Chains A and B, each alone.
Chain A
Amino acid sequence: MDQGRRDALRISTVLGLAVAAGLFSSDEVAAEEWNKNAFDAKDFNGATKGMGAVGIAVSKDVIINAPDIAENGAVVPMTVSTALPNVQQIAILIEKNPNTLSANFTIPAGTEPSISTRVKMRQTSNVFALVKANGKWLMASKEIKVTLGGCGG
């Protein structure tokens, strides 16, 4: 095997371990690495697997506040909230988008478990809101009809 390539491999391995061990402080914004596996997933199962969300239970305690019909799929406003205590994470997934996972929020203690944002929807689809509370994953879904798709091509 070519020696230069071996050295490069060895060095990159050492650097990787050093970062993992926290020897180098990572970027201030990117305190946690962007979850590529979850965001690249093309379906619900892939996205939730990437997020490490297992044992997801449908719950009426998770509330999706969004329009029934979105005229413009490029800008669909929605609020995901819950009255549950100890919420650690809130995620928004859109079933029929090219990539299912839209956004994933980490909720520290003291922050209310209610997030408003705006998402793009390619077509009429189920939208899933996932909430991790007390270590358990809960979910609600809502179908939003889209008259004009927002991932234009």
Chain B
Amino acid sequence: MADPMRVRALEKDGTTEVKILMKHDMETGLRKDDAGNLVPAHFIQQVSVKHNDTEVLSAQFGTSVSKDPFLAFKFKGGAKGDKVIVSWIDTSGDKRTDEAIIA
């Protein structure tokens, strides 16, 4: 089971700023472990951010997004108390969805 994300959403003057910190190793498939064996690639491929039922951002990641990926962006139309829902899926098919209430 994947570790939870940290999601913050803050509304100011009609614009909502979303900050997301995912918890994922983002293995490139090129790194070797201490024994000199290649660590298989394992990384988040797709991220979707929704406000209520509307997608406000979708992202595709390659191997070179940093470990524990961070994303920040802003969208218009969010109101305090609304939900922002973030989902990701990785190369193994693991998924994680977390949400935040807009403050």
Contact = CB atoms under 8 A, between A and B. Distances in A.
A34 interface: yes
A108 interface: yes
A29, A77, A97: most-surrounded residue (chain B CB, <10 A): A29
B74 interface: yes
A79 B17 CA distance: 14
Interface of A: 27-32, 34-35, 39, 74-77, 79, 94, 97-99, 101-108, 110-112, 114-121, 150-153
B87 A151 contact: no
Contacts of A99: 62-64
Interface residues of B, number: 37
Nearest to A122: B64
A34 to B, nearest CB: 5
Interface of B: 15, 26, 28, 30-32, 45-48, 54-67, 69-77, 87-89, 95
Contact of A116 (B32, B65, B70, B87): B70
A30 B46 contact: yes
B59 A110 contact: no
B56 A108 contact: yes
A107 B45 CA distance: 17
24 contacts: A28-B48, A29-B87, A32-B58, A39-B60, A74-B67, A99-B64, A102-B62, A102-B64, A103-B65, A105-B57, A110-B75, A111-B73, A111-B75, A114-B74, A115-B71, A116-B72, A117-B65, A117-B66, A118-B66, A118-B69, A118-B70, A119-B66, A151-B30, A151-B31
A39 B56 CA distance: 23
Contacts of B95: 29
Contacts of A27: 89
Contacts of A28: 48, 87
